[in-house]
Structure 1
Amino acid sequence: MRHDGSGGSPTAVSDDDPAMTDADRRAVAAAVGTSHTAFLGPGPTPDGGWPVRFFTAATELSGCGHGTVAAQAVRLTRTALGELNDRQRTGGRTFDTFAIRRPTGIEVWFDQGLVALRHPAPDERAAIVAALGLTADDPHPTDEPRIAAPGAPRMLVPVHDRAALLRVRPHLNRLKAACRRYGLLGCFVYVPPVGDRPGAARMFAPAIGVDEDVANANSTGGLAAHLLDTTGAQMVAIEVEQGDALGRPASVLASARRGPAGITTRVGGLAVIRDRHRGDN
């Protein structure tokens, strides 16, 4: 959500029930009207991470950025602490998280780990761009599409300006088929940040049952890694505004650094708990 506490991506957060099947978990998002649900397992695991699983109505995800923000915000509200340094176990990976109470909500940061980058093959790029329905004037004049994998790969597609971003009307069935053909989670269409002005983005992921995501934190981290790689800098910090096309304005923060093993990223956002009894965010 934005810094004033408005907008954002509603995410259901629930304690996991071992008696539930994965079909039951997929049904929760549809039942409560959110795109994603985070299930908090009992913990910690032997490596110190608290297990969290993420589901859409269609599938289980190996990771979810805004879901992690929601899950850790709920974890903090269940304590009397002002801040919580924690570890989360999701998708076979354990990573550090940090949550702190702010006047307008709970700010959460998490280590995204290594982000792999590659250039899309010509047919892969052509299929995704065609499915997005971009016109000849829409592509960015200097930036190029890239595949970023902070876990699951997704295509980052830059466009010329915010007007072009708002005009995007993807052919969802074609985009779903193309993403499944090339093993992509979805497509993150963006306008790069310039100077002190935040970037802007929209995330389309019909292949996992989310036609358009309000905010996608993992893709924002992937974008930070891409910008670091293309600029040659040692560190990049960005803010990307999302959700405007859906009337749910949100801002996601991300930073990327170079290290011995490659580019690592850190992602953050603000969450507000709407119904503490049910644990929904």
Structure 2
Amino acid sequence: MTAATPYATVVRACLRGGAGGSPTAVVMEDDTPGARLDDEQRRRVPAAWGTSHAVYVRRAGEVTDLRFFTSEGELPACGHGTVAALALLAAREGGERTYRAALRTGRRVFTGRAERAGDRFTAAFDPGRVVLREPAAEERALVLPALGLDPDEAGPGTWIAGVGRERVLVPVPTRAALAALTPDLDGLRAACDRFGLLGAYVHSAPTPEGVLAARMFAPSIGVPEDIANANSTACLAAHLAGRGITAIAVDMGDSLGSPATVTATTGPGRTVELGGTAEVLPR
């Protein structure tokens, strides 16, 4: 699309029923040896390709490095960006067998895999350890009103959770209540910036089968609302494991006209595996 990034590929990550998903620009930096972008150029790529996020992929021996950017700057992790990268790597590998990779973000090395399913790919990976804590009174007092919620009425299920960077998990009782939210994005950004939070992941109550819906508001990283936020889903999965719910499927993106679904399963020690289906768009 541009001279600076002629090798970007858009991948729709975390599809629902083969449709929707979060368009993500994937840049294979190995395709242009000696032409590595600087960080300012990386920040411009998402808007140039009509996406909220971009992931930069570079192979370093047996490990594949991933870096994630929005228009605001670099992120320490990005779940749907990881799904997108795995899908493109598997597509380039070819064949029908399961593609497996050792991935590195920052100093963390983890495993990921992708399997072809027709013209799409089902990807899964280990997002890392989730850290949970109760929010401080000041955090509740500033973040919840920005979402249009009363801090005194919000239930005890409000948590701060981190996998790479902390964000707030906020429960609402129904999908209808979730759909009705109209947050004050400027107020939310100010509150999140004050506490160093990535954003607010608001979710409905899960069904007995672990199906629910969520919306992720992240104006602090230049994303007013995210179509799909897989790492926040990992945080929620770790939290719900304490209630005996070990597998969830989270619908997102409906308010943005791009339905998406992220899956997560929790194992011993609250280890989480994230998953999503992706489609590599033709260049």
Are 1:99 and 1:108, in contact at CA under 8 Å, matched by a contact in 2? yes
Tell me, yes or no, if structure 1 residue 97 matches structure 2 residue 104.
no
* Identity within the alignment, %: 46
1:246 is aligned to: 256
In 2, Cα distance between equivalents of 1:174 and 1:186: 12
Deviation per residue, 1:42-101 (Å, 9 max, x gap):
323xxx320011100111010000000000100001012322011111122111001000
Structure 1 runs of 4+ off > 4 angstroms?
135-140
Alignment of 1:34-45 (within 5 A): 34-44=51-61
Task: Tell me if structure 2 keeps the 8 A contact 1:117–1:146.
Answer: yes
User: Deviation digits for residues 120-146 of structure 1, max 9, x if unmatched?
Assistant: 001101211011112689845xx5200
Residue 162 (1) aligns with residue 172 (2): no
CA gap of 1:59–1:126, structure 2 versus 1, over 3 A, is same
Kept in 1, the 8 Å contact 2:16–2:259? The answer is no
Distance 1:75 1:272 in 2: 12
Using structure 1 for the length normalisation, give the TM-score. 0.89
Deviation, 1:191, is: 0.6
In the alignment, which residue of structure 1 is the partner of 2:212? 199
Q: For residues 50 and 119 of structure 1, do their structure 2 counterparts lie closer, same or farther at Cα, with a shift above 3 Å needed? A: same
Paired residues in the alignment total 265
The alignment status of 1:71 with 2:85, answered yes or no, reads yes
2:275 corresponds to 1:258:
no
Classify 1:30/1:267 alpha carbon distance in 2 versus 1 (closer, same or farther; 3 Å). Answer: same
C-alpha distance in structure 1 between counterparts of 2:171 and 2:118, whole Å: 34
Change (3 A) 1:244 1:273: same
Q: Deviations over 1:144-182 (max 9, x none)?
A: 200111121110000011111011111111111111111
Name the structure 2 match of 1:27.
44
Per the TM alignment, residue 30 of structure 1 is displaced from its structure 2 partner at its CA by: 1.1
Cα distance between partner residues in 2 of 1:227 and 1:197 = 9
Match of 1:176 among 189, 197, 200: 189
Measured in 2, the distance between the counterparts of 1:135 and 1:121 equals 15
Equivalent position amino acid for 1:265 in 2: V
Aligned match of 1:118: 133
Q: Which residue, 220, 226, 229 being the options, matches 1:216? A: 229
Please report how far the alpha carbon of residue 4 of structure 1 lies from its aligned counterpart in structure 2 after TM superposition.
2.2
Judged with a 3 Å threshold, the aligned counterparts in structure 2 of structure 1 residues 191 and 247 are, in CA distance, closer, same or farther, namely: same
State the Cα deviation string for residues 191-231 of structure 1 (Å, max 9, x = none): 132113611000000001110000100000100001112x1
Kept in 2, the 8 Å contact 1:138–1:164? The answer is no
Are 1:271 and 2:281 matched, yes or no? no
In 2 relative to 1, CA 136–173 (structure 1 residues): closer, same or farther, beyond 3 Å?
closer
RMSD: 1.8
For 2:78 and 2:205, the matched residues in 1 are separated by 22
Query: Which residue of structure 1 aligns with residue 10 of structure 2?
Result: none
Cα shift at 1:41:
1.1
Q: 1:121 to 1:2 in 2, by over 3 A?
A: same
The answer as to whether partners of 2:250 and 2:262 remain within 8 angstroms in 1 is yes
The code of the aligned residue for 1:26 comes to R
Kept after mapping to 2: 8 A contact 1:4/1:104: no
User: Is the Cα–Cα contact under 8 Å of residues 144 and 150 in structure 2 kept in the other structure?
Assistant: no
Where in structure 2 are the equivalents of 1:42-61 lying within 5 Å?
42-44=59-61, 48-61=62-75
| Runs of 5+ unmatched residues, structure 1 | none
Structure 2 Cα separation of the partners of residues 3 and 70 of structure 1: 14
After TM superposition, the score normalised by the length of structure 2 is 0.89
Q: Taking structure 1 as reference, are residues 130 and 137 closer, same or farther at Cα in structure 2, changes over 3 Å only? A: closer
| Alpha carbons of structure 1 residues 218 and 197: separation in structure 2 relative to 1, 3 Å | closer
Shift of 1:113: 1.9
